[in-house]
Structure 1
């Protein structure tokens, strides 16, 4: 006999399937290519395309109900068009998470850069310090200039040094970890857990807020090895919260500092990102300094490495 919980879960799961089928039907009527809904462990999903452009729409089902997520390039015209179409037809609302009064927030930077380290930062936020942050223009680091990131990070470190933990994984160490873990998400989970664990020694906050980068169960499995009595909030665009935004700024500052140091040492302008330009610079470093120096500057699993 099904328990009340199992029965409720079945109802929510069925509702998720109905919603994603409605979305699929309206997209098909508008001429888009959409495959049949696929059931995963915690969600249903469909792939949407108009030929060259592709997106994924997911409907999660769980204890808190249903959550709808459109995945893809947020800045593309195709994303904006599909997002507007879905919301205008169904008025879907994403699951809202209220910022806790005190928590440890964490975020990372550098995972998309061929050169440079992967950095994870964590910050212990308390609503009591909010007034002390009011003059700092705290926001997602992606919305700030490099100069602003450095200025804000300097003030944060000066005022709240005890509330900060930054884990910098140099390219050499990153490559060793990748050889062991075999994927980026495992490295990220390890680093987020380590940063949070360090702060928990002095700040016994039960709430943890992490900018979502992978399946929640994978993160919980690692956290459970180190922590007890915690409440994990894994949120899309979690930088809207002070603690995670601050973590993103601190992590990006450390990445920028690494690039500045290496540019001075090598007298070469190392580019961020993983576009075609990085291949030319990496090839130049290989010719000038050799493979050993290059391997300590780059993430070896990137396809860019194969191209050089």
Structure 2
């Protein structure tokens, strides 16, 4: 009998509880995105914090359970289906680009079909939905799965960022290209879209919200953010105060940097307008 995978939304929770009154038993969840796991001899049910419910198991029994608990079958994303059938994919993403403090970080991740499945099993998804604390934990697991030869992080500190002659976009294009090249060839290279993105490599494409559609880009985003958080922590130690993330609530930190007579080129992006307002006076 064939094994199937069914994804549902809006299931009847009372029907789920009914299953537990029968032969289904709860089992430990395996990652922070799972809410509950239930299984019997033929079927595994995983409920996620996002509201999605996945049923895995023998087709006859899985279909019966899906019908019993109700809900709507999620349509398959054709882009993701293509991804599953592609042998090797490199995904690349960046962080700190819009932050006043810090430089920039780009990470590229390479995975085949089996590695992709292992990444999905530990809950790799769009990093914007993950807390800083969980990013650090998940990054360790991702590195363990990939091995050192299947990811590359290229980092610019504020000092090296400020030494760049040219636009931020040309620097970003160069960083993505360098990180991707370090991983060799792939059947598809996917970069999360940004204004002016131009990666002149074979099989390279850009796509808006790529980290939502490609596991490799999601993993790259998590590793990049992990490196970015560590860079911000190092800058905080050097500055002697907590360096803020983002660019909105940074005015007091910029003033403190100036009052301490610290070299701003070592902490912030000198081409940012809010930085110029403080240090050009």
**What's the TM-score once normalised by structure 1's chain length?**
0.60
Q: Which residue of 1 aligns with 2:175?
A: 191
Distance 1:101 1:270 in 2: 42
**What is the DSSP-based 3-state SS (H/G/I as helix, E as strand, rest coil) of the residue aligned with 1:194?**
helix
**Cα shift at 1:159:** 2.7
Mark the CA change 1:215 to 1:299 in structure 2 (over 3 Å): closer, same or farther: closer
Are 1:175 and 2:162 an aligned pair? yes
Which stretch shows the higher mean deviation, 259-268 or 149-158? 259-268
Q: Of residues 279, 296, 302 in structure 1, which corresponds to 2:251?
A: 279
**Cα shift at 1:232:** 1.8
**Cα shift at 1:243:** 0.4
Which stretch shows the higher mean deviation, 260-269 or 239-248? 260-269
Distance 1:244 1:96 in 2: 13
Distance 2:127 2:101 in 1: 19
Distance 1:186 1:95 in 2: 32
Query: 1:117–1:174: 8 Å Cα contact kept in structure 2?
Result: yes
Are 1:269 and 2:232 an aligned pair? no
**What is the DSSP-based 3-state SS (H/G/I as helix, E as strand, rest coil) of the residue aligned with 1:106?**
strand
Are 1:244 and 2:228 an aligned pair? no
Where does structure 1 differ by over 4 angstroms across 4 or more consecutive aligned residues?
94-97
Distance 1:205 1:303 in 2: 39
**Cα shift at 1:205:** 1.4
Deviation string, structure 1 residues 181-209 (Cα, Å, up to 9, x no partner): 2x111111000000011111xxx313211
Distance 2:175 2:152 in 1: 11
Aligned residues: 197
Query: 1:121–1:166: 8 Å Cα contact kept in structure 2?
Result: yes
Mark the CA change 1:215 to 1:113 in structure 2 (over 3 Å): closer, same or farther: closer
Q: Which residue of 2 aligns with 1:109?
A: 95
**What is the DSSP-based 3-state SS (H/G/I as helix, E as strand, rest coil) of the residue aligned with 1:289?**
coil
Distance 1:264 1:215 in 2: 34
Deviation string, structure 1 residues 197-256 (Cα, Å, up to 9, x no partner): 1111xxx3132111111346x332xx4xxxxxx212211100021100000000000010
Matches within 5 A, 1:1-308: 98-99=82-83, 100-160=86-146, 161-177=148-164, 180-181=165-166, 183-200=167-184, 204-215=185-196, 218-220=198-200, 223=201, 230-240=202-212, 241-275=214-248, 277-290=249-262, 292=263, 294-308=264-278
Mark the CA change 1:135 to 1:289 in structure 2 (over 3 Å): closer, same or farther: farther
**What is the DSSP-based 3-state SS (H/G/I as helix, E as strand, rest coil) of the residue aligned with 2:191?**
strand
Mark the CA change 1:236 to 1:307 in structure 2 (over 3 Å): closer, same or farther: same
Query: 2:87–2:187: 8 Å Cα contact kept in structure 1?
Result: no
Distance 1:212 1:134 in 2: 22
Mark the CA change 1:113 to 1:243 in structure 2 (over 3 Å): closer, same or farther: same
User: What is the aligned-residue RMSD (CA, Å)?
Assistant: 1.9
Query: 1:107–1:251: 8 Å Cα contact kept in structure 2?
Result: yes
Distance 2:235 2:137 in 1: 20
Q: Which residue of 2 aligns with 1:28?
A: none
Deviation string, structure 1 residues 52-101 (Cα, Å, up to 9, x no partner): xxxxxxxxxxxxxxxxxxxxxxxxxxxxxxxxxxxxxxxxxx99573233
Distance 1:164 1:114 in 2: 26
Mark the CA change 1:151 to 1:289 in structure 2 (over 3 Å): closer, same or farther: same
Gapped runs of 5+ residues in structure 2? 1-76
